[in-house]
């Protein structure tokens, strides 16, 4: 069972031209939605999205000054309820009404995957973008292992997952919906049953595949009023075959190789599983300064051949000031694995710069892979304001591709760590050596030496003489 993946808390402040919505968005609006995707393995993925938007006085200036663009990563953060509480405070309805009622910390952190994010960005209010609104988007994705926690049953309900049910919509929300992914399970089919039966369904192309969702609108009084609460349930009528889930067209992996504590190698594997389309990806790497990268060792190979990147931007690190920044555009051939590797040397830190547990290792932030992945099904362009929020997680640029941003796993690299008691040992040892030298020197200089009169002989001599006499040889 996979351990809970580290939380990636990202604050993206994109000051570029964003949001092509031509319709005037309303003031201070809140939209919330929950997407539940039952997986054939029995796991259930739940994604919350809350979008708050408000008008601002800020006037958008022409262009973006890249001097003010910042990118920062905290490679690892131990996730706990402390991360959830301030996040929940940003929600207008806190956790009192609407979908946020389900955000119960003890359940959300007992999951096999937890990802929580805050995005804030300006959105143009009109076509010429003379005035902007701010958009605060909060997302939370968790994967429940319903199979293990439910004694081998793959059925689930809102109450079993969150130990709460939905009772009322948030009065401030202009839209409050729950989507359940029922793709591939025909409604009159015998495989799966969702209760209460959905009033409407929604069909769209998500991540290049056609999907069908059952929609429950909390603002629709009929959804909740029947029984004062909404407890969505899903029952598998005939257990689905545990087939391998489809492999995404783009996925990536990262690891450190090498031995010893001097040199090492960072490797990133990029997989394009599309059967016949090649596409470019943008790979962004930030490596802390204590790994000294050798850029001349940067090698990119696809299918055993050298793959020359069409663009490389490298900003070298400065000790204790700024990390390495390596950005490149790589063309991934169809149905291939591309390996990007670069060698590094481990630097020695200052005595006080080591973390309290230096032998645990130092984290290296994940690489970020951005790509326009070709889609197999043509998607039609959509109006952003009308379509569900989760749709804009994977924006479609044109009908034939969709945008994906992937984060690889963070790495743990061991740095050469000194013995921290060394200064004391050195002092003690030096002192001892000095004392020993000093002792003999002192003895040599202060002792008085005088010639010893030869004595009459000791026991050995007498013994020798006794033997000599016995042999008839003159004594000594």
Binding site residues, another protein, CB under 8 A: 86, 89, 92-94, 96-97, 168, 171-172, 424, 427-428, 430-432, 434-436, 438-439, 442-443, 445-451
Pairing label, strands 192-195, 173-181: unpaired
Q: How far is the CB of 427 from another protein (least distance, A)?
A: 5
Q: How far is the CB of 348 from another protein (least distance, A)?
A: 21
Q: How far apart are CA 412 and CA 405, in angstroms?
A: 22
Classify 468 as helix, strand or coil: helix
Q: Which is nearer to another protein, 219 or 269 (CB)?
A: 219
**What is the DSSP secondary structure assignment for residue 308, as one 8-state letter?**
-
Q: Strand, coil or helix: what is 424? A: helix
- 33/420 Cα distance (integer angstroms): 52
Q: Which one, 412 or 427, has the nearer CB to another protein?
A: 427
Nearer to another protein, 230 or 369 (CB): 230
| Torsions phi, psi for 299 (to 5 deg) | -125, 140
Residue number with CB closer to another protein (105 or 382)? 105
Specify whether the CB–CB gap between 56 and 40 falls below 8 A: no
- C-beta of 447: minimal distance to another protein in Å? 6
Which tokens sit at 340? 């990007």
Other beta carbons within 10 angstroms of residue 49's beta carbon come to 21
Closer residue to another protein in complex, CB, 168/327: 168
Among all chains, which residue has been given the structure tokens 């030496």?
449
Helix (H) or strand (E) holding 193: strand 192-195
Provide, rounded to whole angstroms, the least separation between the CB of residue 436 and another protein: 7
Residues in the chain: 476
Nearer to another protein among residue 434 and residue 473 (C-beta)? 434
What DSSP element (H or E) covers 135? strand 131-145
What is the C-alpha separation between 278 and 373, in angstroms, rounded?
9
For 326, phi then psi, to 5°, come to -130, 125
For residue 2, report the phi and psi dihedrals to the nearest 5 degrees.
-70, 140
Q: Least distance from C-beta 311 to another protein, angstroms?
A: 39
Q: Give the separation between CA 291 and CA 458, rounded to whole angstroms.
A: 73
Residue 451 or 476: the one with the smaller Cβ distance to another protein is: 451
Q: Closer CB to another protein, residue 380 or residue 447?
A: 447
**Collapsing DSSP states into helix, strand and coil, what is residue 391?**
helix
Question: Toward another protein, which CB reaches closer, 84 or 283?
Answer: 84
Residues 6+ apart with CB under 8 A from 400: 374, 375, 378
**CB-count exposure of residue 277 (10 Å: 0-12, 13-18, 19+):** middle
CB of 56 to another protein, least distance (A): 12
Nearest-approach distance from CB 432 to another protein, in angstroms: 5
């Amino acid at each position: 069972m996979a351990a809970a993946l580290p939380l990636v808390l990202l604050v993206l402040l994109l000051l570029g031209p964003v949001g092509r919505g031509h319709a005037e968005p309303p003031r201070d609006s809140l939209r919330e939605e929950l997407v539940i995707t039952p997986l054939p393995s029995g796991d259930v993925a739940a994604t919350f999205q809350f979008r708050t938007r408000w008008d601002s006085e800020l006037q958008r200036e022409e262009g973006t000054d890249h001097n003010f663009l910042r990118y920062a990563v905290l490679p690892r953060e131990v996730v706990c309820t402390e991360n959830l509480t301030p996040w929940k405070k940003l929600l207008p309805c806190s956790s009192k009404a609407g979908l946020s009622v389900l955000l119960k910390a003890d359940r959300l952190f007992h999951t096999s995957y937890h990802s929580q994010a805050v995005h804030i960005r300006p959105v143009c209010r009109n076509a010429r973008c003379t005035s902007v609104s701010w958009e605060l988007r909060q997302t939370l994705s968790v994967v429940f292992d319903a199979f293990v926690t439910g004694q081998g049953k793959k059925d689930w309900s809102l109450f079993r997952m969150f130990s709460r049910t939905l009772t009322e919509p948030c009065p401030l929300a202009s839209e409050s919906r729950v989507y359940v992914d029922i793709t591939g399970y025909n409604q009159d089919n015998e495989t799966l049953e969702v209760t209460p039966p959905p009033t409407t369904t929604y069909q769209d192309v998500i991540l290049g595949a056609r999907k069908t969702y059952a929609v429950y609108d909390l603002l629709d009084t009929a959804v909740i009023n029947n029984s004062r609460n909404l407890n969505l349930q899903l029952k598998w009528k005939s257990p689905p075959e545990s087939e391998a889930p489809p492999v995404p067209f783009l996925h990536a992996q990262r690891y450190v190789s090498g031995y010893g504590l001097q040199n090492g190698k960072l490797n990133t594997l990029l997989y394009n599983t599309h059967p016949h389309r090649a596409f470019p990806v943008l790979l962004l790497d930030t490596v802390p300064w204590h790994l000294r990268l050798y850029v001349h060792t940067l090698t990119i190979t696809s299918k055993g051949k050298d793959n020359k990147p069409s663009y490389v931007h490298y900003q070298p690190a400065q000790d204790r000031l700024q990390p390495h920044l390596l950005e490149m555009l790589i063309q991934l051939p169809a149905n291939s694995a591309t390996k990007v590797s670069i060698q590094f040397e481990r630097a020695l830190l200052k005595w006080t710069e080591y973390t309290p547990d230096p032998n645990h290792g130092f984290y290296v932030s994940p690489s970020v892979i951005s790509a326009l992945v070709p889609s197999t099904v043509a998607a039609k362009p959509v109006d952003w304001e009308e379509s569900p929020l989760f749709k804009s997680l994977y924006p479609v640029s044109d009908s034939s591709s969709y945008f994906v941003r992937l984060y690889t796993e963070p790495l743990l690299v061991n740095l050469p760590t000194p013995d921290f008691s060394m200064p004391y040992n050195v002092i003690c040892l030096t002192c001892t050596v000095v004392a020993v030298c000093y002792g003999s020197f002192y003895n040599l200089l202060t002792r008085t030496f005088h010639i010893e009169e030869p004595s009459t002989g000791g026991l050995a001599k007498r013994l020798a003489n006794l033997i000599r006499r016995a042999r008839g040889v003159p004594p000594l």
